[in-house]
Amino acid sequence: MTTVNALNLAEVGSLIGDPARAQMLTALMDGRALTAGELAWCAGITPQTASGHLAKMQTAGLLTMEKQGRHRYFRLSSPTVAGMLESMHVVCAVDTPKRIRPETRMDADLRQARTCYDHLAGVLGVALADALAARSVIDFSGDGGLVTVGGRDFLAGFGLDMAKLEKGKRHFCRPCLDWSERRHHIAGAVGAGLADRLFDLQWIERIKDSRAVRVTPAGRTGLKETFGIDPSA
Amino acid sequence: MTTVNALNLAEVGSLIGDPARAQMLTALMDGRALTAGELAWCAGITPQTASGHLAKMQTAGLLTMEKQGRHRYFRLSSPTVAGMLESMHVVCAVDTPKRIRPETRMDADLRQARTCYDHLAGVLGVALADALAARSVIDFSGDGGLVTVGGRDFLAGFGLDMAKLEKGKRHFCRPCLDWSERRHHIAGAVGAGLADRLFDLQWIERIKDSRAVRVTPAGRTGLKETFGIDPSA
DNA sequence: GGAATGATTCGGCCCGCGCCGAAGCATGGC
DNA sequence: GCCATGCTTCGGCGCGGGCCGAATCATTCC
């Protein structure tokens, strides 16, 4: 009777059936891409253990991986997988009456604006990248990122020491995948320079004990006037 | 970072992650109730081992049990569980694009027409959904599914007790993703009602020991005349 | 009553796999 | 060249859980 490919079903089930892997998958359910290290931390296990789990899930086709520098970003391989996880969560929710953890204050802050290494990420970081792209200051359409000739003047006018930034060995202007927005923000020397400048102008300031940053009242007007960004919501 | 209750997800996953249990669950996917012994046989294990598995799945809320004489009948506890299994099968089908193993007769039958919990799936199920959508009986374009005003009359005319179907608590008309066709067929009360009616009319009949169904000669003409479906291939 | 059948509980074997420490690559920054 | 960081591979430990044999309970039939 009905043999079908229940074996495959069991394989998929057992992949999800490990607490660490389930934790990772849940963390990835919103479609964001996370690094192997972040996922290890999410699951509460060491990086080497996580690496094995991730490899398994990738081989099985549940995850896809994208290399970016020395980081490896993992995400669910398709909306189909997300849908499956969703339906499994539905069953979980039915089985256990009620228990939803609301998004914490810190989650919300991080999603809004935060530093990513030395540059800006989150809603603010992506908005900044969009604004500069719209003004033809930067161009992310190609493989890497580049600053236009006019853009160089614009950034210099905003107070960035372009000569100094260009001297360094690191990537000059690079798109970086944003984990909360799933879109690119500005990394590299230019990204770091922009963040530095915004801190110097006190348009943004760090939130204590967190990577999150907040926009100051001065920053609100400044960002609006200079970049057309309205970081209100 | 996003802890949620992934533990529950892992529990559900690991329940499904055992080959024997996956086999049982797959056998139950047509919504019928099977005895413990039948399920043991399906999974290829001894009754005492099966008993343990069934108890676990029952405790977890995946199965419900009904005593009848010295037999114990198990079935999936809800359409929600069936939907979850269905969506997992979708992922399985996507993951294995090419058949390693040649398609068996049974696979072909299942792909053609089968019951999915209590409604129809497979080529026939999808064709039925398409036909009813083309005739503006149902509308799957929105978020969920809905039956049009004219559609209600059409279905009533076909012999469905619409008042009774509307009275129930379950979803009335819902699209369900088909694992073999990767398109939607009709689930919910309307889907179940349609399948029941087709069985009553003897337009379709179950293939022994399988979720697969076959279209009878009477069904062939009936489906053609009523819905414009030609289940020939 | 006794025998047969379906299903469960108990006990013990054993394999699979998740885990981490240590070491090995790769990339980036200096 | 160096070191730091992120990730992977390898090896071995240990536990959880699936498996069956034997015994027990429940139901039906004679």
Q: Identify residue A23 by its one-letter amino acid code.
A: Q
Q: How far lies B182's CA from each of A110, B14, B115, B126, B179, in Å?
A: 37, 25, 16, 9, 5
Q: Answer whether any strand D atom is within 7 A of the Cβ of B48.
A: yes
Please state whether strand D lies within 7 Å of residue A104 at its CB atom.
no
- Tell me, what's the pLDDT at B6? 42
Return the sign of the alpha-carbon dihedral for residues B182, B183, B189, B192: negative
pLDDT in tens, B138-191: 887 655 677 888 889 999 999 999 888 887 666 777 777 776 775 778 888 888
Please report, for chain A, the start and end positions of each structural domain, with discontinuous segments joined by +.
Answer: 6-99, 107-227
Amino acid sitting at position B161: D
Distance from CA(A16) to C1'(D26), angstroms, rounded:
38
pLDDT for residue A29: 79
Q: Assess contact for A186 and A198: CB atoms under 8 A.
A: no
**Rama region for B96: left / alpha / beta (φ>0; ψ in -120 to 50; rest):** beta
Q: Which residue has the tokens 């009709």?
A: B186
Q: Please count the CA atoms within 13 angstroms of the CA of A212 that sit on its side-chain side.
A: 16
Q: Rounded distance, CA A111 to CA A129, Å?
A: 16
Contact B15 A17 (CB under 8 A): yes
For residues A27 and A42, the answer to whether their CB atoms sit within 8 Å is yes
B8 CA → D25 C1’, Å: 34
Q: Identify the residue whose Cα has the smallest distance to the C1' of D18.
A: B49
Q: Which nucleotides of C are covered by protein (CB under 7 A)?
A: 5-10, 17-23, 26-30
Q: Tell whether B42 is within 8 A of chain A (Cβ).
A: yes
Q: Is the pLDDT of residue B3 over 60?
A: no
| Residue in A17, A61, A94 closest to B17 by CB | A17
* Cβ of residue B199 closer than 8 Å to a chain A Cβ: no
Distance CA A12, CA B88 (A): 8
Tens of pLDDT, residue by residue over A57-74, are: 999 999 999 887 788 989
Q: Between B140 and B127, whose confidence is greater?
A: B127
A95 touches B at CB < 8 Å: yes
Nearest CA-CA partner of A94 in B92, B174, B61, B41: B61
**Digit-coded pLDDT (tens) for B63-82:** 998 887 788 889 899 888 99
What 8-state DSSP symbol labels residue B172? S
Q: Measured between alpha carbons, how far is residue B20 from residues A10, A221, B25, B49 in Å?
A: 8, 64, 9, 9
A12 touches chain B (CB under 8 A): yes
The single-letter code of the amino acid at A132 is L
Structure tokens at A136: 């033809």
- Any idea how long chain A is? 233
Q: What is the ipTM of this complex?
A: 0.68
Residues of A in contact with B39 (CB under 8 A): none
CA A28 to chain CA centroid, Å, is 11
Q: What is the pLDDT of residue B13?
A: 96
Query: What DSSP string describes chain A?
Result: ---TTHHHHHHHHHHHTSHHHHHHHHHHTTS--EEHHHHHHHHTS-HHHHHHHHHHHHHTTSEEEEEETTEEEEEES-HHHHHHHHHHHHHHHHHS----PPPPHHHHHHHHSEEETTEEEHHHHHHHHHHHHHTTSEE-SSSS-EE-HHHHHHHHHHT--HHHHHHSSS-SSEEEE-TTTSSEEEEHHHHHHHHHHHHHTTSEEEPTTSSBEEE-HHHHHHHHHHH------
Rounded, the Å distance between the CA of B51 and C1' of D28 is 21
CA A223-A229-A231 angle, to 5 degrees, is: 90
State which H helix or E strand residue B232 sits in: none
| Whole-angstrom distance, CA of residue A230 vs CA of residue A227 | 9
CB B80 within 8 A of CB A91: yes
Contacts of A32 in chain B (CB under 8 A): none
Strand partners, B139: B146
Identify the residue whose tokens are 């293939």: B207
Q: Containing H/E element for B203? A: none
Residue A137 has pLDDT above 50, yes or no: yes
Q: Is the dihedral of CA A218, A223, A226, A230 positive or negative?
A: negative
More confident residue, B101 or B61: B61
pLDDT recorded at residue A156: 92
Which of B10, B92, B211 is closest, CB to CB, to A9? B92
Match domain A6-99 to its CATH number in 2.60.40.3880, 3.30.70.920, 3.40.190.10, 1.10.10.10. 1.10.10.10
- Confidence label for A4 from pLDDT (cuts 50, 70 and 90): very low
Cβ <8 Å between A5 and B96: yes
Lowest mean pLDDT among A164-173, A194-203, B38-47, B79-88: A164-173
Query: Residues with Cβ < 8 Å from B189, sequence gap 6 or more?
Result: B165, B166, B168, B170, B171, B172, B173
Task: Name the nucleotide nearest B74; use CA and C1'.
Answer: C7
**Mapping DSSP to helix (H, G, I), strand (E, B) and coil, where does residue B11 land?**
helix
Radius of gyration, alpha carbons of chain A:
21
CATH topology of domain B6-77: Arc Repressor Mutant, subunit A (1.10.10)
- Say whether residue B207 is in contact with chain A using an 8 A CB cutoff: no
CA A148 to chain centre: 25
